[in-house]
Structure 1
Amino acid sequence: MESVDGRGKDGLVGGSDGRGPGRVRVLVVDDSPVDRRIVERLLMISGNLFDVVSVDGGKKALELLGLNGPQDDSHNYDDPNVDIILTDYCMPEMNGYELLKAVKEHNHGSSIPVVIMSSENDPQRISRCRACGAEDFILKPLQTVDIEQLRNYARPPDLSATKTSGKRKPSRDIITDSNDSERHPRPRLAGVAVA
């Protein structure tokens, strides 16, 4: 995989090969270099909580995740320790919905949470993504409160350290938006449903 501006050979911003303790590793997928940089910056300034890997398209994301090969168990799956995927919806070749669908349909990727971001508030698009397994659909431009929510959706670190193909257990954290309406006037979707 190609190295992208200022990243190490594994694509991490800052060139670190390992994840810091308690940090969430986010794969950012966006074809716009400007939007990608904005999201990376928001993640990096959020209290040292995230390690960021970014690519400019869905096919590169699948390649990085090792999900572009066969699904049989004989395939040597190399877990990249990605705790969550944050992807733009509108991209050439493979849009965010197609990436979401490919991840969720793959034996080894189905447990990776996916959050879609878009500048368009299209209810049908949002419903379709949610029905396919998206954790959330965030409207651009992203804000700090959106970034803070990502930790609630991410796989727990102990699950990402092991190679597992099972479904992740839902988080029991309850997300409240009690005072959020004043700071965040745009529509918000419900978080993870707890069984």
Structure 2
Amino acid sequence: MGEAREGEGEEIGNKGGGGGGGGGGGLGVVRVLVVDDSPVDRKVVEMLLKKSGEMFEVIAVDSGKKAMDFLGLNEGKAESPKSDDQKIDVILSDYCMPEITGYDLLKAVKDNICSRSMPVVMMSSENDSQRISRCLAIGAEDFLLKPLQVKDIQRLRNSARPTAPAPSQDPKRKLPVDLIAQSNGSERRPHLAGVAAFLLEL
């Protein structure tokens, strides 16, 4: 793990470029903003994502403040998000961090008009049901336990907003997803495939 640590700065420095972010239409690339104050945990996440193939592009920051700076949430402007914000498909944030916690970051994202639709997945080494409920109640897509495992990567991908133009023109599409989200809580993502099958039958 010590060898991979040298590349950490490159990941952060790469955040604005790359062919993956501008595509929006490519099915494969999902841009993940990883927020964790632990260098080891950040590296574990990055390695797991890269092992999944070419479909993840990782932007890693080590604090909630840097994540908010990156997303333009520290400027207090609800009307003009940074262009980089629009390229992020999902935020994966640790819950326990100094100064700005993962919960604070989640709340800031969901309180901002421009960023509230951005999926946020929380993670923690503690399986605290109150903590999990608290995050899901204000809009977290999912809550993963650390250390992350390969099976968690699929959950993360399912939580990301679509990067390809799926049949989103159908006005009925959002309603079933919302209903499932309200009734099933943290298990709503595995049911999205079922929603797609349901829509095809309409």
TM-score with structure 1 length normalisation? Answer: 0.75
Task: Please point out which of 61, 68, 71 is paired with 1:65.
Answer: 71
Question: Which structure features the higher share of helix residues?
Answer: 2
Task: Please point out which of 135, 140, 147 is paired with 2:141.
Answer: 135
Partner amino acid, structure 2, of 1:137: F
Q: State the number of aligned residues.
A: 166
Q: Is the 8 A contact 1:25 1:83 kept in 2?
A: yes
Partner amino acid, structure 1, of 2:83: D
Q: Deviations over 1:15-72 (max 9, x none)?
A: x523173210000000000100010010011022101101001110111111221234
Following TM superposition, by how much is the alpha carbon of 1:77 offset from its aligned partner in structure 2, in angstroms? 3.6
Q: Secondary structure at the match of 1:85?
A: strand
The answer as to 2:7 corresponding to 1:6 is no
Q: Is the 8 A contact 2:11 2:58 kept in 1?
A: no
**Residue 48 to residue 191, structure 1, CA distance change in 2 (3 Å):** same
Q: Is the 8 A contact 1:152 1:171 kept in 2?
A: no
Q: Which residue of 2 aligns with 1:18?
A: 19
1:70-85 matched pairs, under 5 angstroms: 70-73=76-79, 75=80, 77-80=82-85, 81-85=87-91
Q: Which residue of 2 aligns with 1:38?
A: 44
Gaps spanning 5+ residues in structure 2: where? Answer: 1-6, 166-172, 178-185, 196-202
Q: Is the 8 A contact 1:83 1:112 kept in 2?
A: yes
Percent of aligned pairs sharing the same letter: 53
**Residue 17 to residue 8, structure 1, CA distance change in 2 (3 Å):** farther
Separation of aligned partners in 2, 1:57 and 1:78: 20
Q: Which residue of 1 aligns with 2:58?
A: 52
**Residue 171 to residue 65, structure 1, CA distance change in 2 (3 Å):** farther
Q: Is the 8 A contact 1:36 1:54 kept in 2?
A: yes
Please identify, of 16-25 and 101-110, the stretch whose mean Cα deviation from structure 2 is larger: 16-25
Q: Is the 8 A contact 2:12 2:59 kept in 1?
A: no
Separation of aligned partners in 2, 1:127 and 1:8: 31
Q: Secondary structure at the match of 2:114?
A: coil
Q: Secondary structure at the match of 1:7?
A: helix
Q: Which runs of 4+ in 1 moved over 6 A?
A: none
**Residue 84 to residue 72, structure 1, CA distance change in 2 (3 Å):** closer
Q: Secondary structure at the match of 1:5?
A: helix
Gaps spanning 5+ residues in structure 1: where? Answer: 160-167, 173-188
Task: Please point out which of 145, 148, 151 is paired with 2:151.
Answer: 145
Q: Secondary structure at the match of 2:91?
A: strand
Task: Please point out which of 102, 110, 132 is paired with 2:116.
Answer: 110
Q: Secondary structure at the match of 2:161?
A: coil
Separation of aligned partners in 2, 1:170 and 1:10: 37
Separation of aligned partners in 1, 2:150 and 2:43: 15
Q: Is the 8 A contact 1:84 1:155 kept in 2?
A: yes
TM-score with structure 2 length normalisation? Answer: 0.73
Q: Is the 8 A contact 1:29 1:86 kept in 2?
A: yes
